[in-house]
Amino acid sequence: MNLRRRMAEFGFESNDDYEFQMRCLFAASAQGVRCLHVAGDSGRRKTAFAQSLAHALDYPRVLYLDFSQPEPPAPVVSIAIDPNADHHEPVEAPLGAFERVVTEACAFSEAERTVLILDQLQAAEFQQQIQLAQFAASGLWHAGAAEFKAGVKNLLLVLISEETLYHPLARMSFRVWTDASAGRFEFRPDEFGLDPDARELFAALAALFEGLGRIPTPSELRHILADLLEQVRTEEQLRHCLYGWMEQLDHALLVSPTVAPLMVEAVAALNRYIGLDEVVLHSGHEAQDA
């Protein structure tokens, strides 16, 4: 099973297959921790990509930290103090979420393949980004007075930021662009249980999606085709169908004069395929043969 299908099982469906990018990532020599920079348009799809990629690649340990989330309150520690003692040992402050998750990544990666996903890095403090760059370069992590060494052959560091990534981290990272609606419309009618006569309809849909700058994922197209065969008979209904099922579709472009001729041709191809020569609407009810 290819990586695209495997990632879809874990929640990230895309028209692109990222196997080549992963070969480049893992074939490159790495002095420190191997880093993957997940780029793309704003939104949570980058997070879904990172999570599904980790599971699709069968990493047994997946750790995650979102820097945009508030720091959880530090645990209350009670210490008994001997009033007769001449001096008291200093007590170290508890580790923050960032220090704790990197420490855990070091510990787990000594024995098993581990992914550490650091999300919303633009919200991290500058000093934290410096610490992270130093860790990625050396594989060494300092938490309090202790030093930890990551199993660099087992650890993959995945970095997600809504802004430009800190330059030293960017230089050490292989960058991948995530876009679920990218690619070309290369679907065939038989993949969806349709006969060869649907090729004209698929050609019209391909032109329409090219005009929209978005390609539906396989599951989105399956929903769209079901509505085309059972519900859609007009351009307006087709607009509602596409907007209803496709993520990140530009509504202004969908109703623009530029796309209108492509919409007309797609509906005409649909009606020819299902055997309708003329369509009449009756007070908002389903379209019927004239």
Highest mean pLDDT among 30-34, 92-96, 236-240, 249-253 belongs to 236-240
Task: Give 16's pLDDT tier (boundaries 50, 70, 90).
Answer: confident
pLDDT of 231 > 50? The answer is yes
What per-residue confidence (pLDDT) applies to 280?
45
Q: Tell me the percentage of the chain whose pLDDT exceeds 70.
A: 84
Domain boundaries, the chain: 3-178, 189-289
pLDDT of 270 > 90? The answer is yes
How many CB atoms within 10 Å of residue 231? 13
- Summarize the confidence of residues 118-132 as an average pLDDT: 96
Cα gap 112→64, rounded to integer Å? 16
Phi-psi region of 213 (alpha: psi -120 to 50; beta: other; left: phi over 0): left
Higher-scoring residue by pLDDT: 92, 51: 51
Residue from 182, 189, 181, 187 nearest 270 by CA? 189
What per-residue confidence (pLDDT) applies to 284?
46
What per-residue confidence (pLDDT) applies to 180?
62
Give 35's strand partners. 157, 173
Read off the pTM: 0.71
What per-residue confidence (pLDDT) applies to 288?
45
- Summarize the confidence of residues 27-48 as an average pLDDT: 86
The residues, ordered by sequence, that sit 6+ positions from 143 with a Cβ below 8 Å of its Cβ are: 95, 99, 100, 102, 103
Q: Tell me the percentage of the chain whose pLDDT exceeds 90.
A: 69
Task: Give 92's pLDDT tier (boundaries 50, 70, 90).
Answer: low
- In the numeric block, the tokens 């043969």 are attached to 289
pLDDT of 282 > 90? The answer is no
How many CB atoms within 10 Å of residue 118? 26
Give me the CATH code for the 3-178 domain, please.
3.40.50.300
Element (H, E) at 251: helix 251-254
